[in-house]
Structure 1
Amino acid sequence: MKVLTVTLNPAIDKTIYVDNFELYGTNRVQSSLETIGGKGINVSRNLRNMGMNSEILGVFAGVTGKRMTDALVDEHYLVHEISGMGETRINLKIVDQKGHTTELNELGPALQDDGDILNWFKDHDFSDTLIVLSGSIPKGVSQDIYGQIINLVKKGGAKVLLDASSKGLEHGLVSVPHIIKPNIDEVQYLLNIEQKPSEAELIEFGKAQIENGVKLVVISLGSKGALFMSDAGIYRADGLDLISKSTVGAGDAMVASLVFSYINQEDIETLIQRAIATSGAAVETRGTNPGELKRINALMKVVRIQEMSKYENNSSKNVW
């Protein structure tokens, strides 16, 4: 099965490390790291780290966009390019010695409308493909673009993993992707509530998505772990006690692990162990780099899983 990661708003991620970040003051940079990124591209990097190939589709613009595509091709990725107007963005991440991260993300390039994106998908075959849609939506593109893409590729037999926020997630859910990975803030947005959703509210949200046709719902709880919901049941996994160097990219690492688990048809417990371990190992690295595979395998052995309930129609551990 082919894997395609889609990054409609890629970026060069520049991570700056300081001892103590002082707002309104002068901060001395201890070191810095620059990586070619954007959420889908980060997923592709993590997949390669796990020994799995993927193709990359992105909207690239200007000198920065050319720099990105050249670098990705030099790294032997198969890159599909949609040209945008303006300049591909550079995102700044400031990380202090406690691992606290401050992000300054540029808006990025623009497109005139949805046409170039939708036409690209209309012109390609996705009969045996898992497509990862992740990240923000460029200027000039409809907020329901993910929903439109999902409708298109599902007709061709593709499966879709959606990792988006706000309107992109809201519209995408209407088209029923195969897998979703929102965080607490994103679920709060969807529920339109003022306070952070309780665990019970998160579970009810997840169950509603499963009943609507989504096969796997993973809700990230940040350092506290994640909730996993499918026909195999409802599970909670605790976060790992780790020394954080950068939380940026940890969610993308988890998405990559879900892709790996789907392609290999892993059972729910292995899927959970891999997801928590892969995101945890990423937190231990600088910038948006993946964690070492050896470290991921070691962390999988210490992931704590709580089985909260089973669905009556599935007594097995089969997710898919």
Structure 2
Amino acid sequence: MKSFDIVTLTVNPALDKSTHFKGLVPEQKIRCESPRYDAGGGGINVSKAISRLGGESLCVFTSGGATGEMLEKLIEKESIEYKTIATQNWTRESFVAVDDNTNAQYRFGFSGDSISDAEKETVFKTIMDLKPKYLVLSGSLNEGLSTDFYKMIIDTVKSFETKIIVDTSGEALQKALETGVYLVKPNVGELAKLIGVEKLEMEEVEAAAKKLIEKGSAEIVVVSLGPQGAVLVTKDQTEFVAAPNVVKRSTVGAGDSMVGAMTWALSQNKSLKEVVQWGVACGSAATMNEGTQLFKAEDAKRLFEWLGKK
């Protein structure tokens, strides 16, 4: 297998299913349109984003049962290089439904079944053998998987000088930052929890991000500000990028699109200002599409060019 500068890891992928219906009525059968299927899960979406920008990555993910087989076929259609770690339990599904009468979006997620000790060891061995320049750890953890799973991977690859980019939540995120990573992308609420406060006002975000950097939790902190955009913070640089005004159809995959774009930009030696601009452009472009489709390359490039003129 050829070497890749970027490897994404998804231990809890999902077969994403999305549809439309007209009117949500309790206890009545809801007639839905034919579903659309997409390969989902944090790292998988990151690899899809990188591919749409013309980059390459190796997408590593667990796969089990008929849903896992369908997931693999969907990734093949995207022309993304991948490596699977076979699991006895089936890959989970997620479901997004849009009510055309109200344009309200309903998102249903299922927790992933547990993976065995042998399967966990295969995950570790696979990442150790690859020794990538950038490793993206993105998405939730399977049911029963220790919250320090990502931390253990980070500890394992530290000696390879791999740059770790992490995008997860809760205790798994807190544990991952104990070792220290290259880049982390929390939202404002997650950042507040990471520094031990109840909430943060917008004017407090930069100082809070610098606290993480001073603790050695990350070299780069990119805080997602939702419709306001994002701010990138390092020890001696801060770059705020306001989000462009677009017609929002779905927020599914916007964060993953942002991480994928920033990872690609870093691998292309873009400036940090351009890194966060690409992140905001692709995250915003993803909201322009329905369901679980991520972004279209032409939308992302147009928004990036617009941001560059601001």
Common fold by TM > 0.5: yes
2:201 maps to 198
State yes or no: 1:118 paired with 2:121: no
Structure 2: unaligned runs, 5 residues or longer:
none
Q: Which residue of 1 aligns with 2:95?
A: 92
Q: Quote the Cα distance in structure 1 between the aligned partners of 2:308 and 2:80.
A: 35
Kept after mapping to 1: 8 A contact 2:50/2:56: yes
Q: Give the equivalent residue in structure 1 for 2:174.
A: 170
The amino acid of 1:174's aligned partner reads E
1:2 aligns with 2:5: yes
**Does the CA-based 8 Å contact 2:252-2:294 persist in structure 1?**
no
Higher deviation after alignment, 276-285 or 105-114: 105-114
Q: Specify the SS of the correspondent of 2:96.
A: strand
**Which amino acid in the other structure matches residue 254 of structure 2?**
A
1:136 pairs with one of 129, 134, 140: 140
1:151-180 CA-to-partner distances (Å, cap 9, x unmatched) read 111211211110010011111111111011
1:154 aligns with 2:163: no
TM-score, L = length of structure 2 = 0.88
Larger helix share, 1 or 2:
2
Counterparts of 1:151-300 in structure 2, within 5 Å, are: 151-194=155-198, 196-213=199-216, 214-300=218-304
Instruction: Return 22-31 or 96-105, whichever deviates more.
Output: 22-31
Counterpart CA distance in 2 for 1:159 and 1:7 is: 17
Distance 1:207 1:10 in 2: 32
Q: Check 1:186–1:84 CA distance in 2 against 1; reply closer, same or farther (3 A cut).
A: farther
C-alpha contact 2:48 2:80 (8 A) present in aligned 1: no
Instruction: State whether residues 89 and 115 of structure 2, in contact with CA within 8 Å, keep that contact through their aligned partners in structure 1.
Output: no
* TM-score normalised by length of structure 1: 0.85
Mapped to 1, the partners of 2:30 and 2:236 lie a distance apart of 49
SS in 2 for 1:143: coil
Q: Which moved more, 1:209-218 or 1:146-155?
A: 209-218
Could you say if the C-alpha distance between residues 64 and 263 of structure 1 is closer, same or farther in structure 2, counting changes exceeding 3 Å?
same
Whether the 8 Å CA contact 2:210–2:235 is kept in 1: the answer is no
* 2:54 partner letter: G
Distance in 2 of aligned mates of 1:25 and 1:200: 48
8 Å Cα contact 1:56-1:79 kept in structure 2: yes
Deviations 1:166-200 (A, max 9, x none): 01111111111101111123223334444x42224
How far apart, CA to CA, are the structure 2 residues paired with 1:258 and 1:284? 19
User: Tell me, what secondary structure is at the counterpart of 2:306?
Assistant: coil
Tell whether the 8 Å contact from 2:188 to 2:200 is kept in structure 1 after alignment: yes
Residue in structure 2 matched with residue 317 of structure 1 by the alignment: none
The one-character-per-residue Cα deviations of 1:108-152 (angstroms, maximum 9, x if unpaired) are: 221133433223333x041x5211100011123211111111111
The Cα of 1:284 is off from its aligned counterpart by: 0.6
- Find the residue that maps to 2:186 and give its secondary structure: coil
Secondary structure in 2 aligned to 1:255? helix
**Other structure's SS at 1:6 match:** strand
Aligned length: 303
Q: Which runs of 5+ in 1 are unaligned?
A: 307-320
Structure 2 counterpart of 1:190, one-letter code: L
Deviations 1:15-67 (A, max 9, x none): 22345656777655356421111111111111111000111111112221122
Distance 2:307 2:154 in 1: 33
Instruction: Write the distance in 2 (CA, Å) between the matches of 1:232 and 1:25.
Output: 58
Shift in alpha-carbon separation, 1:225–1:74, aligned structure 2, 3 A: closer
